[in-house]
Amino acid sequence: MYKRMTSRDSMNADVEADSDALQNGVEKEMTNPSWKYSCPHVLVATIVAFLFGYHLGVVNEPLESISVDLGFSGDTLAEGLVVSTCLAAAFAGSLISGWIADGVGRRRAFQLCSLPMLMGASLCATAKTLAGMLAGRFLVGLGLGVGPPVASLYVAEVSPAHVRGTYGSLIQIATCLGLMAALVIGIPVKNIVGWWRVCFWVSTIPAAILALAMMFCVESPHWLYKRGKLAEAEFEFERLLGSSHVKSAMLELSKSDRGDETESVKISELLHGRHSRGKDSEFLV
């Protein structure tokens, strides 16, 4: 008698088949991959978080000097705009960060976000009017909105599982270091005329390093796999984990990809479909 196989049974059968293939064709390394391979790539990605913290704090100490030099001293609205324009632009940039990362890849997304940060910081450093300062802050904010979400995604995708949490915390540490660096660099602003311009010029250095260093960093194997570039994904896994872990990493990636497809649920299904209890829901008071 014919028995129909359920979707779960089918998925389990695929997993068992992959496991058998792995055991027969590849000797899986029992030890964890070295963190040393992936660490440089993660550190480069955290430069974005450092810049985020730096630009949040860069105007705190020099704001009074900026207002005097640009002619809006005592105008609290203008001072507030200098501070908040960057955050408003960051919000706009964050709305398109995922689209950029999925469209052009993680590495190019980093390089693209560094361009407005370089241009914006240069505009701020050379500003002669309030409008020039606000334009620079807006460009910087766009880059900061795109960069940190991509950094979190990139770090999660290139990190070995056993150090993924540790690497993830580096993003927050880098943000705090950026804030502290902005405060330290701004200390001489009251003693040196025009020092606030130096504070903005300093931020172009890590932004340039980010754009250049990403040329030598790996692309996300997850993004390459989604694009059907399996050979390139294997090559990047070899750079991140070592040759002995490539096959097992690709197998895990294929399993997670199938899981994403089978477990995907539409929003309409959550509201009205089998995942919603509808009008018959019971509430305990």
C-alpha 183/C-alpha 187 separation (Å) is: 7
- Please say whether the dihedral angle defined by the alpha carbons of residues 223, 226, 227 and 231, taken in this order, is positive or negative: positive
C-alpha 106/C-alpha 55 separation (Å) is: 22
Assign domain 39-217 to its CATH superfamily. MFS general substrate transporter like domains (1.20.1250.20)
User: Binning pLDDT at 50, 70 and 90, where does residue 11 land?
Assistant: very low
C-alpha 171/C-alpha 45 separation (Å) is: 8
Tell me how crowded residue 11 is: count the other CB atoms within 10 A of its CB: 16
Quote the percentage of the chain above a pLDDT of 70: 79
First to last CA, the chain: 50
Give the pLDDT confidence of 108-157 residue by residue, as tens digits: 999 999 999 999 999 999 999 999 999 999 999 999 999 999 999 999 99
- Within the chain, all domains assigned CATH 1.20.1250.20 are found at 39-217
18: enclosing H helix or E strand: helix 7-25
Report yes or no: 205 and 54 within 8 Å, Cβ to Cβ.
no
| Average pLDDT rounded to a whole number, residues 90-99 | 94
Q: Give the pTM.
A: 0.78
- Within the chain, all domains assigned CATH 1.10.286 are found at 218-264
Q: Name the residue with higher pLDDT: 13 or 224.
A: 224
C-alpha 276/C-alpha 206 separation (Å) is: 49
Which fold does the domain 218-264 belong to in CATH? GTP Cyclohydrolase I; Chain A, domain 1 (1.10.286)
Give the pLDDT confidence of 154-201 residue by residue, as tens digits: 999 999 888 989 999 999 999 999 999 999 999 999 899 999 999 999
